[in-house]
Structure 1
Amino acid sequence: MQKDGTVRNALLVSSGDGPCGPALRQFLARLEKCYLRKDEHLAKTGAARPADHRRNLYSLQLANLRLRWLTLSAAPPQITVIGPTQAGKSSVINWLLGESAAVASPLAGFTRHPQGFAYGYEGTAVSTLHRYFEPLQPRPISELPAEDFRFFGFEPVRAGLPRLGCPVTVWDTPDFDSIDSERYRDGLLRAIALSDLLVCVLSKDKYADQSVWELLAMIEPLGIPGLICLNKTPAAAAETVVRSLTGKWSQMRRDATPPIVALPYLGADALEPPGVDALVDAARTLLRQTDRPRQPLGLQRFLRANWENWLAPVRVEQKAQQEWRTLVGRTVASANRIYRRDYLDHPHHYETFQRALAELLTLLEIPGVARVLTQMRRIMTWPVRQIGQFGRRWRPDAANLGSEQSVLQQTALHVMLTLRQEVAEIAENATETRPWWLALGRELGRRQAVAIDLFSQAASAYAREFEPEVEKTAHALYDRLGEHPAVLNSLRATRVTTDAAALAVGLHTGGIGLQDFVIAPAILSLTSLLTESALGHYVQRAAEDLKRRQAAAVSGLFDDHLAANLLRLPEDMPYDTGFFIPVDVIEAAERELAGTSRTS
């Protein structure tokens, strides 16, 4: 038993922090949750579960379970016995152990939970197994509920050693080929993921089943040593079945065919068929060859083998998200062009530079006269201002007609309507991503009113925040005028007469505000004098510079308070089959995976 003791010591070595870095571990866990959420959605809606989705889910669960096992303190050797229904798994377990531990039944699907039979254990090893199986809870095998899969079977540690001659846990597992097997597939995967040796029990009638080879092909990259037991195989057919099975193995897997032990039907009075000793010897030999320190390499191979398949639906979704970002960017760029056309470059709507000139008029007031004129304007235009306010309350839409705020609001509405139309067209023509685009279209419609309202509030705040830029332009013009005393004095002399004319016009027209006739003559006079003076070129540059700064500010308004909210819509929309994994998260995981590949 010296070799067995050596094997035991090697297998008890702790795996430390495991084969994966933190970014990779977190990504794998997150990806599994996404697949599970999609799986629950398909089950809830009664939709068919595509074969590639099922395979990706099972292989991803197996990867996370194997990773979990390798990061725990190791326990004695683990043998997992797998196979389809009626293959005789429980009987093979009893022959390996040398006693009747597992309950054999002629009923298909009788075993529905992983069931462990432990020998030569210590307390820490048992607690390790319990931690690994969480949230499943241990129960005596006789007390496992048939329809409740929140448990796994685990008997108290048995005294002595089994027929295998070393401390070991042998796991009986549910089938993987019955109609109900999807319901308890999790227990099977948990038992496979912790195994140091897989014993695949097949029969003459089941060895060629597709479900068998799908499972064997899926677990191949893990590199778990295997042993095939051809149970219930007549001696006359054994050679033919072994040859056929070997050929099938070469077709489905790239590694060498494992040892195959054929066992005939159990005789009526026999406790075990001929050939059991060969089965036990083969299992014992493979256990001696087990090298746990190299198991992380198998997990890394498994991750690399399945990586692109796992990420295929994620990349499809990310392609749709990139298309959405491009669409939003193109539509917001169009919004900037609309704003420039309908406001900045519009001969009647653009008023920002006029406000700067109005501010300049105030700066040009003649000392001693300015205060009197200002008070006179306030007194004489007060009735008109009240009438104007009443008119705005009566027809609020007319007050803002053609104003910057109106243009901004209409442009934002144009953006939302354009996006909804384009999203609907994309969804109609899409195949793989149609549900994603349909969900996005619904969310766009639901959020439109709120988005427009929030943007309008941001636009009002922008208008207030931009006022200092208007004042800055007026002061820059005034400072430049200070360098030309003749022009400045001419403007100041004209300022009094234009103000008097403005007051008269204001009384008769009732106009108020920057677009009204109260200040229009003054601004017209000022504009004419400035453009015809030596400062004409500077005034033009000041007007263009103000317009440029305003265009930049509005572009930022569109980006920060419209585009940014639109780009977040896919993350917030109700979409149960979505992954929503950022590209940088995947890239960080791939860097760690590439790093472990180089070090291995």
Structure 2
Amino acid sequence: MQPTEHRSAVGQLADDLRWLEDHCRRQPELAAHAGTLRLASALTRNVIGPFLEGQPTRPLHVAVVGGAGAGKSTVVNFLAGDKVAEANPQAGFTRHPTAFLPPGPAFQWPSYIGFMGQMHRLTQDKPASADEDVYQVKRIAPPPTAGGKDGYTHPLGEFVIWDCPDMTTWASEGYVARLMEVAALADVIVYVASDERYNDAVPTEFLHLLVKAGKAVVVALTKMRAQDADSFIEHFRQEILGRLPKLPNGELPAVPVVAIPHMSMAERTDPAGAGARYRVQLLNQILVQCESDDATRARTVTNAAKYLSTAGDGLLDVARRDFTELESWKATVGAGKTAFEERYRREYLSGEQFRRFDRFRERLTDLLELPSGGRVIGGIFWALRTPYRWTRDYVFGLLARPDVLNLSEQTVLTGALTGWLDMLQAESLRKSGSHTLWKQIAVRFDSELGPQARDRFATDFRAFELKESEDLEETGKALVDGLEKNPALLYTLRGGKLALDLTIIGSVVYFTWPPGWLLLLIPFGVSASHQFAELATRAVAEGARRRVRSHREQLVTTSLSSPLAAWLAEWPTTGGTSFEKLQQVLRRVPESIRQMEDRVSAKVAALTALKPAPPPVPNSDNPGNTSPTRQPTEPPTA
């Protein structure tokens, strides 16, 4: 893959991680995740990106970190061998990072895109207390007794020594962010803790984070009495280091500890001379962590990639609260949908008679009458039924309740929609203080969500009306066509009805002969048979009405309420909202991390194959023994 492609992938991943960090900072309960994501983003930009692009391995970086007032600047001076950092008794004096370049081989200062995040390099000196997103680079002059620059070799000549800001709280957007950039860049971390505040929560948590990131850590304990140094070291190992996150094999990480007790003024001001005994042990522990430039950088990059994988595994924790609130919104939308459908059922379907079916019912009844020449007989039967028909209509007129004017379907649906939206707005206002999702909905409801929902509903309702009209007409015609297109059934029903009427007439005449007033049973009998036919057709029509009601209810659900509910449920995640961005980031980041880890592994393997390990360096005192590539430092003579 070309460097530009690596740069693009690294930039996208770093931006996504930074966005997730900002997202966490807006929610206090996720503040701890913000530190993890900040470090992951910084590792991506400052370590993984340059490695994949083929940037030079040199220089290596040593970062001095610790809590306020721990003595970090003093430790920096000891590493530098001279008083270069501004040591100040004021806690939190150092506000921006400063890089010190010891005398040594020349190298090009990193200038790749994304280096140190939003911080920029100062072109002129500023006090360490300047609270700005900047860093400065200072060169350490060789000591006057070195005999010239070319003849002097600094123990950390291939390193950059970083004096870092204090750490205060994970929610800080100030110098803790600057500290994260340097900590991510570092190949070795010198963690400084004082006797007074060695177990402060925030620095200890930061130490845990560094160990999780696979950083090589050296602990420098300060400000204890010389006679208490050994006991303090042991206590620190048990209370602090003993609680570090364990390695995958179940063991605790090996973290060397050195003690720098209270020193005299001469020792503090002359690290390479009077204070050499404390300086040398610290330098030796750092050099032991760095076998060679390539091996050290490969370890830093490999551990950074593993840390990204760990951070990726915790992404769902970052978004769990957001998804919970989103599910709550979807449940509220679902409750509104149920209320919408219930209101439609109660206010419209329960009272709607679908009068169009009366016409089809009457048509069914007419089909049962005799056609053509049989209409004469039908006319006679109609005349015989006249007294009954008049009486029935009169009685029904007295008993029947007047029809209540039913609200139009559009009126009911529009009212139900208004109730649905009012419920959603009320809920969003009620919960606007609990989460940004509800606040976002409440703020944008009147200007965006409400009008957009009504427009979508109006469009869907027009399509619904067309389907509805066609559905009614087709269902009614199916009642009549089913009988008209089945002549056998039609003539059987007509013949059966005629036979029943003739049987009734014949029976009355036969059993009441000679004729008398009992012949009045004939109109009653033929009226009863006709009423039976009407009841049968009414039952068929009512069955069709029930089917239409059920189908209409389904049609409202499929054409109106379900599409609108689906749109409302996803609305917070569309239109450029933070939830849309969150979903996009959560889809991209795991795959990006996996690809980044694969690329790092492949390149480390390729470099290892190309560069075999150098042969061991013989020890001058004992040729049979070997020593590390970088020799431990011996105290200089006074």
Q: Normalising TM by the smaller chain, what interval?
A: 0.5 to 0.7
- Higher mean displacement: 310-319 or 177-186: 177-186
Give CA deviations for 1:145-198 in whole Å, capped at 9, x if unaligned.
855422121347988786225522221101114999763111101110111100
Matched, 1:567 2:569: yes
Instruction: Identify the residue that residue 196 of structure 1 maps to in structure 2.
Output: 187
Answer yes or no: is the 8 Å Cα contact 1:27–1:589 preserved in 2.
Answer: yes
- Measured at CA, do residues 435 and 131 of structure 1 come closer, stay the same or move farther in structure 2, by a change above 3 Å? closer
Which region of structure 1 is more displaced relative to structure 2, 440-449 or 327-336?
440-449
Letter in 2 for 1:284: L
Contact 1:115 1:141 in 2 (8 A): no
Q: Whole-Å Cα distance in 1 between the matches of residues 420 and 323 of structure 2?
A: 23
Alpha-carbon contact 1:62-1:190 (below 8 Å) kept: yes
Query: Residues 182 and 247 from structure 1, CA distance in 2 versus in 1: closer, same or farther, beyond 3 angstroms?
Result: farther
Aligned residue pairs total 488
* 1:141 and 1:154 in contact (8 A); partners too: no
Give the counterpart letter for 2:260 in structure 1.
Answer: L
What letter matches 1:282 in structure 2? Q
Greater C-alpha Rg:
2
Verify the 8 A CA contact 2:86 2:128 in the aligned structure 1: no
Cα-to-partner distance string for 1:463-508 (whole Å, 9 max, x where unaligned): 24544445555665676576368999xxxxxxxxxxxxxxxxxxxx
1:57 alignment partner in structure 2: 34
Spell out, residue by residue over 1:423-469, the C-alpha distance to the aligned partner (whole angstroms, 9 max, x if none): 788x59xxx95776577567668878647743356424532454444
Residues 122 and 470 (structure 1), Cα distance of their counterparts in 2 relative to 1, 3 Å cut: farther
* Distance of 1:217 and 1:540 partners within structure 2: 75
Matches within 5 A, 1:233-244: 233-244=224-235
Give the equivalent residue in structure 1 for 2:259.
262
From the superposition, tell whether residues 584 and 269 of structure 1 become closer, same or farther in structure 2 (CA, over 3 Å): closer
- Indicate conservation of the 8 Å contact 2:47/2:184, yes or no: no
> Of the candidates 257, 281, 287, which is equivalent to residue 284 of structure 2?
281
Closer, same or farther: CA 559–31 of 1 in aligned 2, 3 Å: farther
Name the structure 2 match of 1:207. 198
Q: How many Å separate the matches in 2 of 1:131 and 1:319? A: 34
Pairs within 5 Å for 1:514-529: none
C-alpha separation between the residues in 2 aligned to 1:178 and 1:444?
36
How far apart in 1 are the matches of 2:41 and 2:471? 58
**Contact 2:218–2:285 (Cα < 8 Å) also in 1:** yes
1:270-302 Cα distance to aligned partner (Å, 9 max, x none) = 412122122112211111175443445534654
Structure 1's 181 and 329: CA in aligned 2 closer, same or farther, altered over 3 A? closer
User: What secondary structure sits across from 1:171 in the alignment?
Assistant: strand
Deviation at 1:79, TM superposition (A): 1.0
Distance 1:25 1:533, change over 3 A: farther
Q: CA deviation at 1:245?
A: 1.4
TM value normalised by structure 1? 0.65
Contact 2:217 2:255 in 1 (8 A): yes
Letter of the structure 1 residue corresponding to residue 111 of structure 2: S
Partner in structure 1 of residue 378 of structure 2: none
Match of 2:417 among 400, 406, 412: 412
For residue 87 of structure 1, give the secondary structure of its aligned residue in structure 2: coil
CA gap of 1:34–1:440, structure 2 versus 1, over 3 A, is: same
Shift of 1:207: 2.4
Which digits, 9 at most, give the CA deviation of each residue in 1:188-241, with x for residues without a partner? 011101111001123333323333312212322112111112234432221122
Distance in 1, matches of 2:323 and 2:189, equals 38
Question: For the structure 1 residues 532 and 143, does the alpha-carbon distance in structure 2 shift closer, same or farther, using more than 3 Å as the test?
Answer: same
Query: Is 1:248–2:239 an aligned residue pair?
Result: yes
Contact 1:221 1:301 in 2 (8 A): no
Counterpart of 1:556 (choices 555, 558, 563) is 558
Match of 1:131, SS state, is: coil
**TM-score, scaled relative to structure 2:** 0.62
Does the alignment pair 1:82 with 2:65? Answer: yes
**Is the contact made by 1:60 and 1:310 (CA closer than 8 Å) also made in structure 2?**
no
- How many Å apart are 1:117 and its aligned residue? 2.5
Structure 2 Cα separation of the partners of residues 585 and 182 of structure 1: 22
Q: 1:263 to 1:156 in 2, by over 3 A?
A: closer
- For each residue in 1:517-543, what CA deviation from the matched residue of structure 2 results, as whole angstroms up to 9, or x when unmatched? xxxxxxxxxxx99x8699989867765
Question: Equivalent residues in 2 for 1:433-582 (5 A)?
Answer: 433=434, 450=451, 453-454=454-455, 455-456=457-458, 458-464=460-466, 466-470=468-472, 472-473=474-475, 483=485, 546-559=548-561, 562-568=564-570, 570-571=572-573
| More divergent stretch after superposition (477-486 vs 455-464) | 477-486
Judging changes above 3 Å, is the alpha-carbon distance between structure 1 residues 121 and 547 closer, same or farther for their aligned structure 2 residues?
A: farther
Q: Which amino acid aligns with 2:561?
A: D
* CA deviations over 1:100-139 (Å, ceiling 9, x no partner): 443333443332111122464543x5213x6311321111
Matching residue of 1:28: 17
1:224 maps to what in 2? 215
Where does residue 146 of structure 2 map in the other structure?
Answer: none
Any stretches of 5+ residues in structure 1 without a counterpart? 1-13, 40-49, 361-398, 489-527
| AA partner of residue 37 (structure 2) | L
Contact 1:316 1:433 in 2 (8 A): no
Contact 2:428 2:438 survives alignment (8 Å): yes
Name the CA distance, whole Å, in 2 between partners of 1:233 and 1:106: 16
Please list every run of 5 or more consecutive structure 2 residues that lacks an aligned counterpart in the other structure.
Answer: 52-56, 142-148, 247-251, 365-403, 491-529, 602-638
Secondary structure of the 1:342 match is: helix
CA spacing shift, 1:32–1:178, aligned 2, 3 Å: closer
Shift of 1:312: 4.1
Deviations 1:534-593 (CA, angstroms, capped at 9, x unpaired)? 998986776566555533332123335632343245447999xx8667679647756777
Q: Distance in 2 between matches of 1:227 and 1:448?
A: 56
1:316 to 321, 332, 347: 321
Aligned equivalent of 2:349: 344
Secondary structure of the corresponding residue to residue 114 of structure 2? helix
Distance 1:356 1:155, change over 3 A: farther
Tell me, what secondary structure is at the counterpart of 2:67?
A: coil
CA contact (8 A) 1:439 1:574 kept: no
Q: Are the aligned partners of 2:30 and 2:318 in contact in 1 as well (CA < 8 Å)?
A: no
Cα distance in 2 between the residues matched to 1:404 and 1:152: 70
Q: Which stretch shows the higher mean deviation, 319-328 or 178-187? A: 178-187
